[in-house]
Amino acid sequence: MEVYKHLVKKPWGEEYCVFRNDQVSIWLLKILPNQKTSLHCHPNKKTGLILLDGKAQVNLIERSFTIEGFAKIMLRNGMFHQTHNNSNQPIYVLEVETPDNKFDLIRIQDDYGRENSGFEDSKNWRKQVPDFKISSDKKSTFNNFTFEITSLEQIFLKDVNPNDKIMIIDGCGFIQNNDQKLCEVGEVLTIKILKYLKQFFKLNTQSKAILICKNLK
């Protein structure tokens, strides 16, 4: 689908796809100061959000809360949500979408008049896509973060911070004795949670994840 090859201009900033396979896509959002996305949901896909730096307010229908610095949240399919940058600096958010369908979108409130409209059409797409992509060929860097595609087995051999994150992109994280699967594609976990779960469940050594490490300044 052509949209995955373009930078998509939004009234609140811009976004583009930094990784995609047949199960999941990952988008990098740049939200400008004092701007916010629509209050929207994805009826058929779950969403993981990782705020790389700064502070953002997440608005749901019944409540709002603030996330800061290298924080992550998971949103089930059909959950209405909105990300508000109420600071004076741009913020960058990774959006992990499973299954891969950018047009699975319903908007109900929007400061820019896009209520009940679908995803931006091609007049908002730009061919000048930034260089940052996540690739299996090599480690990638963006701002103060390093991204690496690796197996879960290899992650346990690395010197990583408990607050570093993984995004599962192939297979599941763990398998129970009755073959039930835990932490499937699209899940975002901290290293701390990953290590905790390993005490109770069998690690799926063949599964793949993107490891995100915050570099020490």
Query: Is 216 a residue whose pLDDT tops 90?
Result: no
CATH of 2-126, one of 3.40.1260.10, 2.60.120.10, 2.60.40.10, 3.40.190.10: 2.60.120.10
3-state secondary structure of 193: helix
Query: Is 193 a residue whose pLDDT tops 70?
Result: yes
Q: What is the pTM of this model?
A: 0.94
Query: Who contacts 159 (Cβ-Cβ below 8 Å, separation ≥6)?
Result: none
Query: Is 43 a residue whose pLDDT tops 90?
Result: yes
> What percentage of the chain's residues is helix, strand, coil (to nearest 5)?
10, 45, 45
pLDDT for 85 equals 97
Query: Which of 22-26, 51-55, 122-126, 175-179 is least confident?
Result: 175-179
Backbone angles phi, psi at 191, to 5 degrees: -60, -35
Instruction: State pLDDT tens for residues 63-121.
Output: 999 999 999 999 999 999 999 999 999 999 999 999 999 999 999 999 999 998 889 88
- Range 172-195 average pLDDT: 92
What spatial distance separates the first Cα and last Cα of the chain, rounded to whole Å? 38
- At CA 119, angle to CA 51 and CA 61, rounded to 5? 55
Stretch(es) of the chain classified as CATH 2.60.120.10: 2-126
3-state secondary structure of 4: helix
Query: Is 202 a residue whose pLDDT tops 80?
Result: yes
**Centroid of chain to Cα 26:** 6
- In single-letter form, the type of residue at position 55 comes to K
Encoded tokens for 214: 């915050």
Instruction: Please choose, from the candidates 167, 216, 212, the residue with its C-alpha nearest in 3D space to the C-alpha of residue 70.
Output: 212
In the structure, what pLDDT confidence band is assigned to residue 176 with cuts at 50, 70 and 90?
Answer: confident
Share of the chain above pLDDT 70, in %: 99
User: Is-contact 31 129, C-beta < 8 A?
Assistant: no
Encoded tokens for 29: 């959002």
- In single-letter form, the type of residue at position 180 comes to Q
Query: Who contacts 61 (Cβ-Cβ below 8 Å, separation ≥6)?
Result: 39, 80
- Range 183-195 average pLDDT: 96
Q: What is the mean pLDDT of the chain?
A: 94
In the structure, what pLDDT confidence band is assigned to residue 217 with cuts at 50, 70 and 90?
Answer: low
User: Is-contact 11 63, C-beta < 8 A?
Assistant: no
CB 43: neighbour CB atoms within 10 A? 11
